Amino acid sequence: MIETPYLLFLGDAPDMLAAKVAIGIRDWRPDHAVGQIRLPGCGADLGLTEMTLAEAKAAGAKTLVIGVANRGGLISAAWKEVLIQALEMGYDLASGLHNLLRDEGDLVAAAQTYGGTLHDVRVPTVGYPIANGVKRRGKRCLAVGTDCSVGKMYTALAMDAEMQERGMKSTFRATGQTGILITGHGVPLDAVVADFMAGSVEYLTPDNDDDHWDLIEGQGSLFHISYSGVTMALVHGGQADALILCHEPTRAHMRGLPDYSVPSLEELRDVALPLALRANADCKVVGISVNTQHLTEEDAVAYLSEVEARMGIPAVDPYRHGAGRLVDALAAI
């Protein structure tokens, strides 16, 4: 559990693309960010209040979050001055970088001296159990994709936001580093040891009120041969009542696998649903989320209505048109 609110560290990020984590926090948990702090030459700007460490501290910030990914995941020397100063001032640090805060001797020393915590969200900190498959109370929705990086996290976050707005009971359940930094907690599933993957998903989505929905962030794809085992653990550990199929219609091949074609939404449905039924006999495919960012508005609308007619369930781009119809579909279960 990472203490909020945050000050978002953008470092010397060359552009907005490098600030994906910070953008996610700003967009989905604006209350978690008191402001931003940047180094000279930073090309990213979230439009948040520019603050010094002292100003943010005075505004209540508890954790300095590294909101930027640089090439190779390194913690550069230029950053160190700010990070160590933050620890001296009583901040915790949180990072999803490949290189770990805990492997930097000077940060470890400063954290010990000043009593701060170093959160490396890529690394599991819990001894997860082996999954027991016992039926849990409450409801769960899992986003599954035809490929990796098609908008599964965005879909779950957008549905959660819509449900909150409607006064429904819901919780976004993060399974990746960006999601964990956005919400302050979750399971870094791709770093969990094989035997405990499904158990970590059960741990993440425990018993809850009968009318409460967990919106579980998906990972990988059942069709992506590099990561399909991780997805399988989500399907079985998640015990989903509802699946949302996620798709990006312009992709030429599976991400990182030039020899593998992207399956159709029908193929995804026909593989994912029987597997999900093993863990929850009532599971249904309730909606489709399409990432239409590479289509014009006209083409996007045409594509969505064609898919919806073909598959008989709501098909929307939650970024373009909101997640309302997906939430309607959940509420109708």
Name the site residues for a copy of itself (rule: CB under 8 A): 130-135, 189-195, 197-199, 222-223, 225-233, 235-237, 256-257, 259-260, 271, 274-275, 278-279
Q: How far is CA 145 from CA 19, 234, 255, in A?
A: 24, 12, 12
Strand order in 139-145's β-sheet? 169-173, 212-216, 139-145, 242-247, 284-290, 315-316
At its nearest, how many Å lie between a copy of itself and the CB of residue 149? 14
Quick one: 5 or 199, whose CB is closer to a copy of itself?
199
Cβ atoms of 11 and 69 closer than 8 Å: no
Cβ atoms of 95 and 121 closer than 8 Å: yes
At its nearest, how many Å lie between a copy of itself and the CB of residue 272? 11
Quick one: 223 or 303, whose CB is closer to a copy of itself?
223
At its nearest, how many Å lie between a copy of itself and the CB of residue 214? 17
Least Cα distance to 107 among 72, 66, 69, 71 occurs for 66
Quick one: 11 or 199, whose CB is closer to a copy of itself?
199
Could you tell me where the beta strands, DSSP code E, fall in 51-189?
A: 63-66, 92-95, 118-120, 139-145, 169-173
At its nearest, how many Å lie between a copy of itself and the CB of residue 123? 10
Rounded CA-CA distance 164/331 in Å is: 13
Quick one: 238 or 318, whose CB is closer to a copy of itself?
238
Rounded CA-CA distance 101/81 in Å is: 14
At its nearest, how many Å lie between a copy of itself and the CB of residue 178? 15
Quick one: 213 or 227, whose CB is closer to a copy of itself?
227
Rounded CA-CA distance 203/186 in Å is: 10
Quick one: 95 or 280, whose CB is closer to a copy of itself?
280
List Cβ neighbours of 333 (8 Å cut-off, separation of 6 or more): 139, 241, 242, 284, 286
Least Cα distance to 186 among 195, 197, 194, 176 occurs for 176
Name beta bridge partners: 215. 141, 172
Strand order in 63-66's β-sheet? 33-38, 6-11, 63-66, 92-95, 118-120
Quick one: 49 or 228, whose CB is closer to a copy of itself?
228
Quick one: 91 or 196, whose CB is closer to a copy of itself?
196
